[in-house]
Amino acid sequence: MSVLDAKIPEGPIKDKWTNHKNKINLVNPANKRLIDVIVVGTGLAGGSASASLAEMGYNVKAFCFQDSPRRAHSIAAQGGINAAKNYQNDGDSVYRLFYDTVKGGDYRSREANVYRLAEVSANIIDQCVAQGVPFAREYGGLLDNRSFGGVLVSRTFYAKGQTGQQLLLGAYSAMNRQIGKGKIKMYNRHEMLELVKVDGKARGIIARNLVTGEIERHSAHAVVIASGGYGNVFFLSTNAMGSNVTAAWRVHKKGAFFANPCYTQIHPTCIPRSGDYQSKLTLMSESLRNDGRIWVPKNMEDVEAIRKGTKKPTDLSEDERDYYLERRYPAFGNLVPRDVASRAAKERCDAGFGVNETGEAVYLDFDAAIMRYGREKATVEGEPNASDERVRELGEGVIEAKYGNLFQMYQKITDDNPYKTPMMIYPAVHYTMGGVWVDYNLMTTIPGCYAAGEANFSDHGANRLGASALMQGLADGYFVLPYTIGDYLADDIRTGAIPTDSPEFVEAENAVKERLEGFINNKGSKSVDHFHRRLGKVMWDKVGMSRNEQGLKEAIAEIQQIREEFYKDVFVPGGMYELNPELEKAARVADFLELGELFAHDALHRTESCGGHFREESAEEDGPQKGEAKRDDKNFAYVAAWEWTGDPSNAKLHKEELTFNDIELKQRSYK
């Protein structure tokens, strides 16, 4: 085991980034034209990085597996983006955003990175507004804010429930400007299947053209992985169907350490699953918790009556309801962080109070908010004596203006009208805090290979706060990577174009072909999805919201078993040199089957509970925090970075010790 050097700059935390930028090497504009950079992924991180790098003068080659960069899964982010603007004058500051993020991450993130994130956050909003991103505004024409879980200020900027879409289209438009100028060469419907290293440095990728099936070699002086998270290892998650770990896993197998794979965010407000055919889960933005109250019935008879359909949730009076978050966490109530809210829902459902047929659902109720807003609106409209009915009508209008598209989405999926009856929600896998290990410069342990956005591990610790993913993706892509990559590329100004006929490229290409031909020629009896579903079930049951030693050991053995069967018995129809979605899936699931094992292995080794990682063996036994997660700072205040050695369970552990100079480590309390 070695100790990893994160290359954090010296000096006080508030000066680190400025000093670092002033000291690192720059590449002069004429030389940037001689340098190629590959960016894999065109979400917020990859899209903004491509646009910025191209604008600075580098030749960018951007890759996405979708048919257009605009479709990357950042598009689906609903709620908002945080920024320390303090427009609401509620005491927000860079320090407070930094503090909230470190605390929300349960003290498992790297202080210096988080501070930098908070520092550049305000510029993101300026940048996006200048690009024409239509954020929500107040009647005075200024930007509006909302509040999100785990914090006590309103610092979240939003565009209805489509903030991710608007920000991604902003980054996409910045890319389009550069594509039009020829500075970005865009490869749609291309998937990276291997990293190519030459003399130990990342020098290119092998990609498959998903339309023709052709295997292509692409070279560059640096490679940026911005391919998102790996939540689909659970099969069911809120991720898009195509979201995968392959790019990240391929660089891992070529020498990049993989950090904290077990840190997964289970989002508390998703639409519950309805049947075995379920292909994905749909998130309902956390912003709904601003106005929605979460509850289950107090009495078991009511639960049973509701499941049988003899009672409706609206039949229950206030004192027949258990608003369990308000009861357990009076200070934060329904706005506790995501991990806390998720576990609390699981606790009630495990105790038998789940309100749907599967027993895995709780209510999210807007009735109180509708009436409260309705009364405010009635007063403003000069109708102080409005009837309850009128108040409700006005209130529903206010709620519709705030969350209309989310309510509509819910109704489309469930056929229930959430204005009239409470929504049913349940936690689902949503985001992965773990990822490729990077230093302060966002460089992985492979020289010249960078990771940005959800694909890296650095900023969210063991739990991510709401509206922080968009912030991190854009911070990495617009403002961090474009600077730090220059420090590395400054040594490459005389290298010249990287040839693609070297033995390293040939070997990598052959390995990819062999792997894919293996799937095509396997002629087994079961579909790729069959194995993916089985993997997902093991992950959810034993490596999900709550984990214990025995379950994790079983999970590792079961995943190994599924992997073995997969290679023996998977059936991939069609050929290699054509559009073949089953082949694409097979390659992705093969990587998930390895990642899943490392994931469980990491969870097994971390015997503490922290953030989204809850080990049943490590809970507070008594006192006011009884049952809450118990961290072990003495033994686990480090980043676990795993080195590939040939099989996931024998991965070699490297530790990056986390030191907290600017924040005191405390138990997270939202009581």
| Residue whose CB is less far from another protein, 88 or 548 | 88
Q: In the bound complex, what is the minimum distance in angstroms from residue 405's beta carbon to another protein?
A: 8
Give the count of beta carbons closer than 10 Å to the beta carbon of residue 67. Answer: 11
| Residue whose CB is less far from another protein, 401 or 497 | 401
CA-to-CA dists, residue 77 to 81, 211, 329, 409, 481, angstroms: 10, 28, 27, 14, 22
| Residue whose CB is less far from another protein, 412 or 634 | 412
Applying CB under 8 A, does 280 fall inside the site for another protein? Answer: yes
Of 88, 527, 548, 560, the residue at the interface with another protein (CB under 8 A) is: 527
Of 24, 76, 305, 371, the residue at the interface with another protein (CB under 8 A) is: 76
Applying CB under 8 A, does 91 fall inside the site for another protein? Answer: no
Of 31, 88, 93, 282, the residue at the interface with another protein (CB under 8 A) is: 282
Distance separating alpha carbons of residues 365 and 106, to the nearest angstrom? 29
Of 62, 114, 125, 455, the residue at the interface with another protein (CB under 8 A) is: 125
| Contacting range for another protein; rule: CB under 8 A; set: 168-176, 362-370, 505-513, 614-622 | 168-176
Contact assessment for residue 229 and residue 455, using Cβ atoms and an 8 Å cutoff: yes
Of 123, 421, 500, 625, the residue at the interface with another protein (CB under 8 A) is: 123
| Closest C-alpha to 629, from 591, 667, 584 | 667
Residues 227-246 that bind another protein (CB under 8 A): 240-242
CA 371 vs. chain centroid, Å, equals 34
Residue 387: strand, helix, or coil: coil
Q: In the bound complex, what is the minimum distance in angstroms from residue 11's beta carbon to another protein?
A: 22
Applying CB under 8 A, does 218 fall inside the site for another protein? Answer: no
Q: Could you give the residue ranges of the DSSP H alpha helices within 309-444?
A: 324-328, 338-350, 367-380, 388-414
Applying CB under 8 A, does 160 fall inside the site for another protein? Answer: yes
Applying CB under 8 A, does 309 fall inside the site for another protein? Answer: no
Question: Which residues partner with 137 through β-bridges?
Answer: 143
Of 1, 3, 30, 130, the residue at the interface with another protein (CB under 8 A) is: 130
Residues 466-495 that bind another protein (CB under 8 A): 478-479, 482
Q: In the bound complex, what is the minimum distance in angstroms from residue 196's beta carbon to another protein?
A: 27
Residues 40-69 that bind another protein (CB under 8 A): 48, 51-52, 55, 66-69
Q: In the bound complex, what is the minimum distance in angstroms from residue 127's beta carbon to another protein?
A: 5
Q: Could you give the residue ranges of the DSSP H alpha helices within 499-580?
A: 503-522, 528-542, 549-569
* DSSP 8-state class, residue 273: P
Q: In the bound complex, what is the minimum distance in angstroms from residue 77's beta carbon to another protein?
A: 9
Give the count of beta carbons closer than 10 Å to the beta carbon of residue 209. Answer: 16
Distance separating alpha carbons of residues 333 and 293, to the nearest angstrom? 9
Q: In the bound complex, what is the minimum distance in angstroms from residue 501's beta carbon to another protein?
A: 29
Distance separating alpha carbons of residues 670 and 615, to the nearest angstrom? 19
Applying CB under 8 A, does 18 fall inside the site for another protein? Answer: no
Torsions phi, psi of 349, nearest 5? -70, -40
Tell the burial category of 421 from Cβ atoms under 10 Å away from its Cβ (0-12, 13-18, 19+): middle
* DSSP 8-state class, residue 460: S
Torsions phi, psi of 475, nearest 5? -60, -50
| Contacting range for another protein; rule: CB under 8 A; set: 28-36, 171-179, 323-331, 504-512 | 171-179
| Contacting range for another protein; rule: CB under 8 A; set: 71-79, 108-116, 445-453, 509-517 | 71-79
Of 128, 370, 469, 539, the residue at the interface with another protein (CB under 8 A) is: 128
Question: What is the contact mask toward another protein in residues 396 to 435, using x (rule: CB under 8 A)?
Answer: ------------xx--xx-x--------------------
Residues 182-211 that bind another protein (CB under 8 A): 186, 188, 211
Q: In the bound complex, what is the minimum distance in angstroms from residue 134's beta carbon to another protein?
A: 4
Q: In the bound complex, what is the minimum distance in angstroms from residue 530's beta carbon to another protein?
A: 8
Applying CB under 8 A, does 169 fall inside the site for another protein? Answer: yes
Tell the burial category of 520 from Cβ atoms under 10 Å away from its Cβ (0-12, 13-18, 19+): middle
| Residue whose CB is less far from another protein, 261 or 477 | 477
Let me know the angle formed at the C-alpha of 664 by 229 and 631, rounded to the nearest 5 degrees: 55
Give counts: helices (H), strands (E), the chain. Answer: 19, 19
Residues 599-658 that bind another protein (CB under 8 A): none
| Contacting range for another protein; rule: CB under 8 A; set: 11-19, 156-164, 299-307, 587-595 | 156-164
Q: In the bound complex, what is the minimum distance in angstroms from residue 406's beta carbon to another protein?
A: 11
Order of strands across the sheet that contains 362-365 = 264-270, 423-432, 362-365, 293-297, 321-322
| Residue whose CB is less far from another protein, 129 or 653 | 129
**Residue 401: partners with Cβ closer than 8 Å, 6 or more residues away:** none
| Residue whose CB is less far from another protein, 236 or 391 | 236
Stated as kind and residue range, the H or E segment containing 414 is helix 388-414
| Residue whose CB is less far from another protein, 87 or 660 | 87
| Closest C-alpha to 81, from 170, 156, 18 | 156
Contact assessment for residue 192 and residue 40, using Cβ atoms and an 8 Å cutoff: yes
CA torsion sign for 250, 254, 260, 261 is: positive
CA 21 vs. chain centroid, Å, equals 27
Distance separating alpha carbons of residues 304 and 355, to the nearest angstrom? 8
Residues 568-587 that bind another protein (CB under 8 A): 571, 573-574, 578-579, 581-582
Ramachandran region of residue 467, left (φ > 0), alpha (ψ -120 to 50) or beta? Answer: left
Of 25, 28, 33, 138, the residue at the interface with another protein (CB under 8 A) is: 138
Give the count of beta carbons closer than 10 Å to the beta carbon of residue 57. Answer: 17
| Residue whose CB is less far from another protein, 244 or 618 | 244
Applying CB under 8 A, does 75 fall inside the site for another protein? Answer: yes
Residue 172: strand, helix, or coil: helix
Of 529, 565, 633, 662, the residue at the interface with another protein (CB under 8 A) is: 529
Q: In the bound complex, what is the minimum distance in angstroms from residue 35's beta carbon to another protein?
A: 18
| Contacting range for another protein; rule: CB under 8 A; set: 118-126, 306-314, 391-399, 642-650 | 118-126
Distance separating alpha carbons of residues 477 and 224, to the nearest angstrom? 10
| Contacting range for another protein; rule: CB under 8 A; set: 163-171, 374-382, 443-451, 548-556 | 163-171
Of 12, 134, 499, 627, the residue at the interface with another protein (CB under 8 A) is: 134
Let me know the angle formed at the C-alpha of 246 by 240 and 247, rounded to the nearest 5 degrees: 105
Q: In the bound complex, what is the minimum distance in angstroms from residue 358's beta carbon to another protein?
A: 12
What's the N-to-C CA distance of the chain in angstroms?
Answer: 39
Of 7, 87, 393, 620, the residue at the interface with another protein (CB under 8 A) is: 87
* Catalytic sites, residue numbers: 338
Of 19, 28, 278, 495, the residue at the interface with another protein (CB under 8 A) is: 278
Applying CB under 8 A, does 159 fall inside the site for another protein? Answer: yes
Order of strands across the sheet that contains 258-259 = 435-436, 258-259, 638-643, 652-657
Applying CB under 8 A, does 145 fall inside the site for another protein? Answer: no
